[in-house]
């Protein structure tokens, strides 16, 4: 069995060593692709472009210090659009307290809360009782984790990002090793991804999904670009196993 991705060299790997698999259904091979999360969505228009292209997770930033932050009203509309197309909405929180996270999550009809920063991550035990969680780990330029999880129970997702999320900067994929964690869905890779490197990144690390923000932005760095969205999705969805 070999892995191909838009010209990336074939990789001979066993099925158990990879993050997505083929399943047999009445004798036919069904291809399973990595999950795509598109983050930093700032408008219903951009959310619609992303979900129509094939994104399964739509992230919006509820941290006011980000250039891509959205208001509660904007976030609720983005959630509505995402959910109307069968995608799930993700609210990104950075060092917020429990009351703020719960209030905003409820106001915006979020499906999932994503926890950045020590203060927000410290609330994972309480929040995970009634909320689905993406728990963020950060890696330095050399691929070494800056923060390590000490969680004995199962979360929905882990996400590995560069030291400064949303910067468009990645880290050394070849040196990175994902720690052993308990996760219902696996882990997402973020940090400097775009259409031209997502196949290489996936080949190196085999995440269960990928997360992109800056790599699908228009020149203003805020709005999303339809061509970049479609190119990114096309490359991700081209990653198949050939039996």
Give per-10-residue mean pLDDT for the chain (243 aa): 40 34 42 90 98 98 96 98 99 97 98 97 95 96 89 94 74 92 96 95 94 97 98 90 32
Catalytic, out of 95, 140, 156, 225:
156
Is position 5 within any domain? no
CATH code of the domain containing 143: 3.20.20.70
pLDDT at 70: 98
Number of C-beta neighbours around residue 99 at 10 A: 8
95-117 pLDDT, tens digit per residue, is 999 999 999 999 999 999 999 99
Cα–Cα distance measured from residue 212 to residue 225, given in angstroms and rounded to the nearest whole number:
12
Number of domains in the chain: 1
Judge whether 39 counts as a catalytic residue: yes
Token look-up 């509505």 returns 80
- Active site includes 108? no
| Cβ-contact 5, 31 below 8 angstroms | no
Does residue 4 sit within a domain? no
Catalytic residue (one of 39, 108, 199, 217) = 39
The answer to the question of residue 217 being in a domain is yes
Q: Which domain holds residue 164?
A: 35-238
Residue 46 lies in a domain: yes
């Amino acid at each position: 069995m070999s892995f191909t991705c838009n010209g990336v060299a074939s990789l001979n790997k066993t099925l158990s060593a990879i993050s997505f698999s083929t399943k047999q259904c009445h004798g036919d091979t069904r291809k399973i692709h990595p999950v795509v999360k598109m983050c930093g969505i700032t408008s219903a228009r951009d959310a619609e472009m992303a979900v129509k292209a094939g994104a399964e997770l739509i992230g919006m930033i509820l941290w006011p210090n980000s250039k891509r932050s959205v208001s509660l009203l904007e976030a609720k509309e983005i959630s509505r659009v995402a959910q109307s197309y069968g995608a799930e909405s993700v609210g990104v929180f950075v060092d917020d307290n429990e009351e703020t996270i719960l209030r905003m999550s409820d106001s915006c009809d979020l499906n999932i809360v994503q926890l950045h920063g020590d203060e927000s991550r410290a609330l994972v035990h309480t929040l995970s009782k009634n909320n689905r969680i993406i728990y963020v780990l950060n890696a330095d330029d050399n691929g070494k984790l800056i923060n390590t999880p000490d969680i004995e129970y199962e979360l929905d997702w882990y996400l590995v990002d560069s030291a400064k999320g949303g910067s468009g900067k990645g880290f050394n994929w070849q040196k990175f090793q994902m720690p052993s964690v308990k996760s219902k869905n696996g882990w997402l890779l973020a940090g400097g991804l775009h259409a031209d490197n997502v196949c290489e990144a996936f080949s190196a690390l085999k995440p269960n999904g990928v997360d992109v923000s800056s790599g699908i932005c228009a020149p203003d760095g805020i709005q999303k670009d339809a061509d970049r969205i479609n190119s990114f999705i096309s490359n991700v969805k081209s990653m198949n196993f050939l039996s």
